[in-house]
């Protein structure tokens, strides 16, 4: 399942889609996007990479089992919810954190991070982990069948 | 008022010291015994100090009761025996340690007569049993050290639980300890972990008493809430609303304090209070082995004998009796009280004694006499609710409950102790023990002395106790003739008890009339045996029994001393008993004999009849109790019957599951539509027309439907996947034309991934083409109607304007948008969307402008959290169900399959 054209194209496509995925995940709070979409986009690009470059190359850019991402994502999402409890708010209570960045006009366009951002990151990690994990696993199954 | 810490430490001492003993090296048997035994000993001393401290309060209560009786004696008032209205603080309750005030569970103890008496009984007999356990498990056995290592913490746990039950002031705290006794009892009955039968019997006991505990739980909740609704009980702050409301009765001391109000509600036939009593009595009845739930108690004899002597004769089984004693002051006013308890107790009493006579295993004999005696104790409390007039005085028919309970403990524990001891050295089967006295004088002597108590012969406190019981029945029977039947049953029970005593004596002494091997062999079900031990410590196997049984004779012969000690603990309510009034306590043997009457005659009949029956050839064989089948039958019903019901629903066929789910969805939706006119309303509004007006949407919808229909009609899997993809991409288009970029993007990504997945998976499927298959015909209408239903549902959610029917509720879209961000008016009066960062919403807001994402991470954040957890689980399923081939081969080889594939 590997062609030169796909492999060459992927050299450019994968980094760009990964960047796009991150962008989608980050802007999701106020504009179309979100952790789920970002995760799916990243998963698609990673799966494409896996298909064109093979198992060895994949384990170079992702040197761990995807379940690590699932676990980390679930932990981050749960923690985000629990942190609100520590402040006496209901679980998963949304709050925004303002940060003064240099060279920006804080009054006109303040920079802030919503607590949901961390939640979205958790969701994204879980989605990437399971999509990549399941598809790659099934792909390996095919390769093994072909080898056998 | 006793300090709460004193009692709390006393309650916790047994389990704490039991756990501490775990730190000692295993072979240190004696030191372990001392450390663990300090637990109940400390508890006993602390409680004794509390009791002495409370003496004045206790005698105050007595005086009040007596005084009350004097003033009320001429009135035949229904609430008379309970009219010993105590002030709201009678000085018998300790202070409170807050634990969970909003749930009505705090740590406070009630040191009234009944509770303190039980606590002293438990800790006192506990000390003896701890010593006996050393003798029983011994030093010589192969598992002795290990057994004792486990035994002391477990029995410490039980002792703590039992002390908690009898001392706790909060009803729910009592329940907590009550369940702990069930658990510890389970652990102790199933002591021999490798004996399947013992484990099964432990389960039987646990389920029976545990289900009863559920009854008690329900009863306590119903009682607390009913009294709160009736306005009985202290006022407090509602934890939710913060208003001052009536909290209801959640403490035993409150039950006493608000006695007259509760009795008023009971006489007004409050159904809640009646059910509270019924539920609580279920708990009491199962715990105290009342017919037909007594089967667990003889079954519990699978436990080691120290456990039987402690739990199943002297203490735990009396928890139910104790509970009835706690409920008695108020619930005695319930007409149901004597009507339920007296017949049930009497049947238990009679049945237990009848079965006990026809047993050969000593432990089973004593187990059934325990059942019998528990029935008697219940009957006693039932009778207590009745009254009789004698010489212009109104008397309660209850006799000295503390004396009755103590009496039983003081002969039954020694009987078990001796039974376990003789089982060690010879056998527990009575037919094997002919003439055993001459070999083991101390053990058999203890047993024979205790058997005198069982038979209630003169000289034991048991005699007076039975006499008092008969006296109570006799006097009340004048007004309630049906009690003559109870009288008859009591006498027959007494005859059986005397007969058992006679058979034990004649057998052990080897006299004619004793049981011999010719009377049939009965294999005892649990035999603990190890080498016979010699030395001073070996005496611990019978000495504790002898100490306890001596109290029987002490009370029987020097009755005034008994009255001085135990009279203190008698419930104030019982003070209006005839003898309390007349003789200031339990009558002495001399008094009983010199005042002949019907009760004395009945005792004479019982003793005479018992001796005749004991010596006769009647009923010498061993039988099995028919009630032993109840639990296996219920167990079969639950496991096998339940399994069959389960398989009826869980067919394992995915199509069936889907059909169930969809059918329920449709049913629920139709029901909702039928009850809510607003739901049908959208269908004949303009909304449907407006959807159709927008032609791109309608066109794409048509494509979606067409591709979906085509899928099952094609033969090639590839084409099917392509149609599915087309369907999905059409949905993406639908989202786009209706301006939902989030959904469109997500769906797009999802379609890409699923097509990739299908491409991978398709290669694994067989090459064979699939026949076009639309399945059974009725699936078409089901699928179509579910589809229409979802459309309808969406239409309702998106468009229904419920402001008319339900003010304050806008269409879902508006509500969600408003809570995501706030719409304010700008300087020109136009609505202006303020971003989250400048907003001060004050309320719970998503603080984001993307409504879809705010729904996902805030409004429905929990759902998202659950969904990603489910996704993770699904992925784990894939990873574990499709392991790598290389690993699979390894696993198969490891299990002995030949290389090259599974057989």
**What pLDDT does residue A7 have?**
86
What residues of B are in contact with residue A112 (Cβ under 8 Å)? 837
Residues in B 845-874 with any Cβ partner in A closer than 8 A: 845-850, 852-854, 856-858, 861-862, 864-865, 868-869, 871-872, 874
List CB contacts (< 8 A) between B853 and chain A.
28-29, 33-34, 116, 120
User: Which residues, at least 6 apart from B301, have a Cβ–Cβ distance to it below 8 Å?
Assistant: B308, B312, B361, B363, B364, B367, B525, B526
* Paired tokens of A140: 């390996």
pLDDT at B521: 57
**Interchain pair B868, A77: CB under 8 A:** yes
- Residue whose structure tokens are 């309750």: B93
Q: For A77-113, how does the pLDDT look when each residue is reduced to its tens digit (9 = 90+)?
A: 999 888 888 887 777 777 777 777 777 666 666 677 8
Q: Does A88 touch chain B (CB under 8 A)?
A: no
How far apart, in whole angstroms, are the C-alpha atoms of residue B787 and residue B792?
9
Alpha carbon distances (Å) from B138 to B25, B250, B420, B425, B654: 16, 45, 12, 12, 60
What percentage of chain B reaches a pLDDT higher than 90?
Answer: 27
Identify the residue with better confidence: A142 or B532: A142
pLDDT value of residue B85: 38
CA distances from B3 to B6, B13, B756 (A): 6, 16, 73
Helices marked H in B168-195 — which ranges?
171-189
Q: Which of B425, B685, B419, B407 is nearest to B552 (CA)?
A: B407
Cβ contact (<8 Å) for B837 and A112? yes
Rounded-to-integer distance, Cα A73 and Cα B872, Å: 10
B-contacting residues of A 16-75, CB under 8 Å?
A: 24, 28-37, 40-41, 43-44, 47, 66-67, 70-71, 73-74
d(CA A120, nearest CA chain B) in Å: 7
pLDDT of B731: 92
What is residue B268's three-state secondary structure? coil
Phi, psi of B98 (to 5 degrees): -70, 135
Q: Are B520 and B360 in contact (CB under 8 A)?
A: yes
Distances (CA, A) of B509 to B440, B444, B450, B497: 11, 9, 15, 18
> CB neighbours of B870 closer than 8 A, spacing ≥ 6?
none
Q: Mutation target for A interface from B744, B746, B760, B880: give the one with most A CBs within 10 A.
A: B760
Q: What's the gap in Å between the CA of A119 and the closest CA on chain B? A: 7
What are the tokens at B860? 């429905």
Q: State how far the Cα of A18 lies from the Cα of A40, in Å rounded to an integer.
A: 10
Residue among B753, B850, B882 minimizing CB distance to A44: B753
- Do B222 and B279 meet the contact criterion of CB atoms below 8 Å apart? yes
Kindly identify which residue of chain A lies nearest to residue B747, measuring between CA atoms. A37
Pull the structure tokens for residue B313. 């004769």
**Contact yes or no for A137 and B746 at CB 8 A:** no
pLDDT score at B707: 92
Q: Please, is B247 exposed, middle or buried when counting C-beta atoms within 10 Å of its C-beta (0-12, 13-18, 19+)?
A: buried
**How many CB atoms are located within 10 Å of the residue B252 CB?**
26
Res B846: pLDDT: 67
Q: Check residue B595 and give its pLDDT.
A: 79
Structure tokens at B736: 């786009």
- In 3D, which of B811, B318, B396, B770 has the Cα closest to residue B572? B396
pLDDT value of position B654: 85
**In chain B, what is the straight-line distance between the N-terminal and C-terminal CA atoms, in Å?**
78
Q: What is the H or E stretch that residue B823 is in? A: strand B823-825
Which residues sit opposite B395 in a β-bridge? B388
CA-based Rg of chain A, rounded to a whole angstrom?
A: 19
Instruction: Answer whether B857 sits within 8 Å of A43, measured CB to CB.
Output: no
Residue written as token pair 């009980």: B233
pLDDT of residue B840: 45
Is A64 a residue whose pLDDT tops 50?
Answer: yes
C-alpha distances in angstroms, B323 versus B284, B302, B381? 6, 26, 11
* B881 at interface of A, judged by CB pairs closer than 8 A: no
User: Which of 757-776 (B) contact A at CB < 8 A?
Assistant: 757, 760-761, 763-764
Tell me what pLDDT residue B286 has. 93
Minimal Cα–Cα distance from A57 to chain B, Å? 19
* Residues in chain B, pLDDT under 70: 1, 58-90, 140-142, 392, 397, 399, 520-534, 571-584, 678, 681-692, 769-770, 772-775, 798-815, 818, 821-846, 885-903
pLDDT at A107: 65
Kindly give the interhelix angle for B113-137 and B543-557, rounded to the nearest 10 degrees.
140
| Rounded CA separation A141/B882 (Å) | 8
């Amino acid at each position: 399942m590997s062609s030169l054209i796909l492999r060459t194209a992927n050299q450019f496509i994968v980094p760009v889609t990964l960047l796009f995925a991150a962008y989608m995940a980050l802007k999701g709070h106020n504009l179309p996007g979100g952790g789920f979409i970002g995760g799916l986009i990243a998963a698609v690009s990673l799966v494409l990479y896996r298909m064109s470059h093979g198992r060895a190359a994949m384990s170079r850019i992702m040197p761990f089992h995807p379940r690590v991402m699932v676990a980390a994502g679930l932990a981050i999402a749960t923690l985000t919810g629990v942190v609100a409890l520590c402040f006496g708010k209901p679980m998963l209570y949304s709050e925004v954190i303002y940060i003064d960045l240099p060279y920006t006009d804080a009054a006109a366009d303040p920079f802030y991070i919503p607590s949901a951002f961390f939640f979205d990151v958790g969701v994204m990690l879980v989605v990437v982990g399971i999509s990549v994990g399941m598809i790659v696993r099934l792909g390996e199954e095919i390769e093994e069948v072909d080898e056998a | 008022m006793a300090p709460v810490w004193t009692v709390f430490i006393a309650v916790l001492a047994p389990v704490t010291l039991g756990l501490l003993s775990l730190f000692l090296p295993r072979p240190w048997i004696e030191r372990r015994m001392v450390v663990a035994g300090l637990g109940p000993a400390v508890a006993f001393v602390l409680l004794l100090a509390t009791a002495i401290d409370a003496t004045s309060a206790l005698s105050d209560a007595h005086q009040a009761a007596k005084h009350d009786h004097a003033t009320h004696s001429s009135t035949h008032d229904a609430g008379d025996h309970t009219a010993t209205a105590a002030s709201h603080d009678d000085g018998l309750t300790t202070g409170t340690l807050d634990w969970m005030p909003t749930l009505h569970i705090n740590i406070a103890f009630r040191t009234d007569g009944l509770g303190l008496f039980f606590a002293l009984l438990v800790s006192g007999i506990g000390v003896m049993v701890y010593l006996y356990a050393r003798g029983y498990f011994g030093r010589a056995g192969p598992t002795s050290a290990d057994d004792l290592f486990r035994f002391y913490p477990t029995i410490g746990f039980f002792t703590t639980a039992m002390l908690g039950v009898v001392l706790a002031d909060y009803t729910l705290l009592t329940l907590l300890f009550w369940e702990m006794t069930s658990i510890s009892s389970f652990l102790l009955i199933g002591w021999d972990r490798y004996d399947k039968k013992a484990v099964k019997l432990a389960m039987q006991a646990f389920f029976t008493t545990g289900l009863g505990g559920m009854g008690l739980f329900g009863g306590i909740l119903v009682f607390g809430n009913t009294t709160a609704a009736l306005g009985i009980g202290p006022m407090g702050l509602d934890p939710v609303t913060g208003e001052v409301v009536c909290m209801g009765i959640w403490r035993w001391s409150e039950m006493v304090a608000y006695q007259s109000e509760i009795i008023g509600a009971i006489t007004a036939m409050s159904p809640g209070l009646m059910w509270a009593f019924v539920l609580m009595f279920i708990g009491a009845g199962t715990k105290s082995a009342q017919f037909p739930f007594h089967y667990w108690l003889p079954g519990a004899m699978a436990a080691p004998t120290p456990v039987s002597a402690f739990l199943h004769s002297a203490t735990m089984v009396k928890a139910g009796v104790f509970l009835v004693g706690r409920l008695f002051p108020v619930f005695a006013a319930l007409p149901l009280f004597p009507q339920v308890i007296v017949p049930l107790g009497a049947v238990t009493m009679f049945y237990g004694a009848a079965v006990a006579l026809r047993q050969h295993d000593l432990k089973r004999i004593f187990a059934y006499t325990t059942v019998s005696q528990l029935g008697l104790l219940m009957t006693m409390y039932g009778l207590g609710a009745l009254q009789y007039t004698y010489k212009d005085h109104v008397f309660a028919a209850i006799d000295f409950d503390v004396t009755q309970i103590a009496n039983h403990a003081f002969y039954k524990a020694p009987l078990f102790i001796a039974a376990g001891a003789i089982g060690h050295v010879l056998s527990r089967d009575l037919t094997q023990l002919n003439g055993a006295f001459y070999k083991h004088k101390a053990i058999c002597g203890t047993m024979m002395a205790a058997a005198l108590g069982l038979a209630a012969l003169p000289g034991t406190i048991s005699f007076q106790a039975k006499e008092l019981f008969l006296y109570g029945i006799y006097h009340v029977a004048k007004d309630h003739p049906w009690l003559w039947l109870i009288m008859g049953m009591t006498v027959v029970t007494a005859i059986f008890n005397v007969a058992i005593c006679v058979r034990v004596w004649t057998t052990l002494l080897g006299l004619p009339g004793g049981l011999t091997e010719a009377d049939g062999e009965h294999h005892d079900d649990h035999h603990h045996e190890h080498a016979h031990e010699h030395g001073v410590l070996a005496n611990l196997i019978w000495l504790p029994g002898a100490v306890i049984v001596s109290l029987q004779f002490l009370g029987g012969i020097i009755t005034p001393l008994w009255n001085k000690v135990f009279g203190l603990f008698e419930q104030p309510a019982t003070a209006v008993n005839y003898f309390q009034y007349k003789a200031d306590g339990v009558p002495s043997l001399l008094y009983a004999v010199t005042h002949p009457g019907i009760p004395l005659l009945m005792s004479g009949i019982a003793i005479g009849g018992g001796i005749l029956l004991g010596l006769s050839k009647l009923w010498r064989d061993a039988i099995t109790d028919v009630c032993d089948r109840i639990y296996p039958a219920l167990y079969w019903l639950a496991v096998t019957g339940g399994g069959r019901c389960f398989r009826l629903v869980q067919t394992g066929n995915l199509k069936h599951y889907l059909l169930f789910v969809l059918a329920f969805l449709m049913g629920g939706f139709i029901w909702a539509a039928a009850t809510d006119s607003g739901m049908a309303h959208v269908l004949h509004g303009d909304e449907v027309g407006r959807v159709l007006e927008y032609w791109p949407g309608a066109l794409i919808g048509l494509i979606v439907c067409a591709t979906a229909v085509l899928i099952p009609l094609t033969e090639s899997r590839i084409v099917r996947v392509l149609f599915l993809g087309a369907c999905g991409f059409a949905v993406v288009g639908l989202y786009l034309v209706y301006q939902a970029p989030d959904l469109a993007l997500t769906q797009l990504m999802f379609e890409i991934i699923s097509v990739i997945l299908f491409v991978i998976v398709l290669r694994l499927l067989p090459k064979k083409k699939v026949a076009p298959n639309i399945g059974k015909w009725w699936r078409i209408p089901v699928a179509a109607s579910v589809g229409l239903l979802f459309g309808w549902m969406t239409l309702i959610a998106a468009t229904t304007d419920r402001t008319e029917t339900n003010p304050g509720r806008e269409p879902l879209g508006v509500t969600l948008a408003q809570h995501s961000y706030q719409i304010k008016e700008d300087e020109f009066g136009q609505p202006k969307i303020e971003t989250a960062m400048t907003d001060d919403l004050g309320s719970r807001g998503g603080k984001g402008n993307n409504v879809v994402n705010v729904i996902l991470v805030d409004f429905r954040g929990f759902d998202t959290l659950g969904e990603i957890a489910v996704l993770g689980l699904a992925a784990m399923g894939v990873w574990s169900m499709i392991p790598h081939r290389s690993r699979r081969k390894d696993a198969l080889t490891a299990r002995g399959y030949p290389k090259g594939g599974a057989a």
